[in-house]
Amino acid sequence: MTINYSEKIPNNVDLANDKTLQRALEHWQPRFLDWWREMGPNDFASSDVYLRTAIGVDAQGWAHYGTVKMPDYRWGIFLADPVPGRTVGFGDSFGQPAWQQVPGEFRSQFRRLIVTQGDTEPASVEQQHRLGHTCPSLYDLRNLFQVNVEEGRHLWAMVYLLHAYFGRDGREEAEELLARHSGDVDKPRILGTFNEPIEDWLSFFCFTYFTDRDGKFQLKSLAESSFDPLARTCRFMLTEEAHHMFVGETGLGRIVKRTLEVMKEIGSDDPAAIRRQGAVDLQLLQRYLNFWFSSSLDLFGSEVSSNAASTFANGIKGRPDETTQYQDHVCADSSCELEMPDGRGGLKKETVGMRNAMNEVLRDAYIKDCEIGLKRWNMQIKRAGRGLELKLPSRRFRRAIGAWTNIPTDTEGRPIPREEFDRCLPEWIPSAADKNYVKSLMQRVVEPGKMAAWIAPPERGVNNLPVDYEYVRSY
């Protein structure tokens, strides 16, 4: 299916033949642009940015590169091609034909998930609103803007579903997606992590590593949905999401690389000495990892969740790679064992019905995926002959959602007294002094090819261009 760029809203859903939907979306479009101008990277509205735009939804047609001013980016509605004869892949309706419409009895559950997914997209653009002013290089500035425009498109993806399949409620929800704002006291974004400020690039790279990876797992679960338009929408979004995680993984890897170079230059791994050279000591990086990983773990919801059980049973939300990774797609009788707090400062094992534990199944897969980057960075550290190892904290550490909410544990997940937790927390997550130091590093570098002192250059540029290409002009 080709994307029609001759229309006001580029799409591959034949919008031209659905005048009512087209009018509704054309009514929403100026509101989106107002929001982008107010809450997006608005100080860079006149910059020329080297961006990729989707021109087709298959692997080859994906990326077209060109120089664009961000407000002129062609946000649109792109669904992956349908799979002929697709059937429901899990839950109580397993094996029946996939749905082209939302069944009435599941309408509010679908709407809630689509709204929650949609809410994260503009939230992240709002969180990253001012980062352009402190970019460590033009290459990174361009990557930030690529991420921003694609999150804007992901918002379009969810708004399309709301408009096309949820009538008036859907249109109202689409308006609300532009009315809530990250960190707003009265109208915050729905999920906790999306209200956390991202004020520096270390946080940005952690966010794209950890939080966008939650996006990968949630989108993969929704890509299994029996509601085919949602599944197809998410399948295409996943191709964009991959770049966001690449930005996080390579960004953090480049920070580690630079720190190791500095350690070698000065012949020391003393954090104070490393900071005197304007680099990020690995202990500081560890505290950032602890913060963003623990916050992102909350995005999977409670360990035991009746919401998760019913979205699975009803065929609304499956598990990532449901078809290829699992034998039992119904999970009506199976169970699993979880380690839970015993209410007396210890642990107990609890047997939970599999459907109720679906959030934990996703969290398990997510944690494994997060470990891959850590292994790679630790290899770099080991090769440089340094003893330190970066680690993911325990899944029980600093949780604000689920069974471990407000249960004080150390980073290994051992329950500890509240006083000890309060005393140690500033050593486990970035302290005010850490944040001030990181802030002092955030000086804008915009000479083509030049990098800030705390990050190594990337191994290659974008789309085979050299690293010193002028990826953003007139910033």
Interface with ligand BYC by CB under 6 A: which residues?
A: 112-113, 116-117, 120-121, 124, 151, 191-192, 211-212, 214-215, 218, 298-302, 305, 307-308, 317, 359, 401
Smallest gap from Cβ 269 to ligand BYC, in A, equals 33
Eight-state DSSP code of residue 22: H
CB-based contacts of 328: which residues, under 8 Å, 6+ apart? 334
Give me the sign of the Cα torsion angle 364, 370, 376, 378: negative
Beta strand 472-473 pairing with 347-353: unpaired
- Please say which residue, 77 or 191, places its beta carbon nearer to ligand BYC: 191
**Rounded to an integer, what distance in angstroms lies between the CA atom of residue 41 and that of residue 348?**
48
**Rounded to an integer, what distance in angstroms lies between the CA atom of residue 66 and that of residue 58?**
19
Assigned token pair, 306: 């009746």
Smallest gap from Cβ 397 to ligand BYC, in A, equals 15
Smallest gap from Cβ 116 to ligand BYC, in A, equals 4
φ/ψ of residue 54, rounded to 5: -75, 135
CB-based contacts of 112: which residues, under 8 Å, 6+ apart? none
Q: Length of the chain in residues, anyone?
A: 475
- Please say which residue, 187 or 344, places its beta carbon nearer to ligand BYC: 187
- Please say which residue, 51 or 308, places its beta carbon nearer to ligand BYC: 308
**Rounded to an integer, what distance in angstroms lies between the CA atom of residue 15 and that of residue 235?**
20
Smallest gap from Cβ 217 to ligand BYC, in A, equals 8
- Please say which residue, 147 or 282, places its beta carbon nearer to ligand BYC: 147
Beta strand 347-353 pairing with 335-341: antiparallel
- Please say which residue, 259 or 290, places its beta carbon nearer to ligand BYC: 290
Residue in the shown chain whose Cβ atom is closest to ligand BYC = 301
**Rounded to an integer, what distance in angstroms lies between the CA atom of residue 461 and that of residue 466?**
5
- Please say which residue, 256 or 299, places its beta carbon nearer to ligand BYC: 299
Q: How far is CA 58 from the centre of its chain?
A: 22
Smallest gap from Cβ 108 to ligand BYC, in A, equals 10
- Please say which residue, 76 or 248, places its beta carbon nearer to ligand BYC: 248
Smallest gap from Cβ 295 to ligand BYC, in A, equals 8
Smallest gap from Cβ 468 to ligand BYC, in A, equals 29
Q: How far is CA 367 from the centre of its chain?
A: 14
Smallest gap from Cβ 367 to ligand BYC, in A, equals 15
- Please say which residue, 47 or 211, places its beta carbon nearer to ligand BYC: 211
**Rounded to an integer, what distance in angstroms lies between the CA atom of residue 324 and that of residue 422?**
44
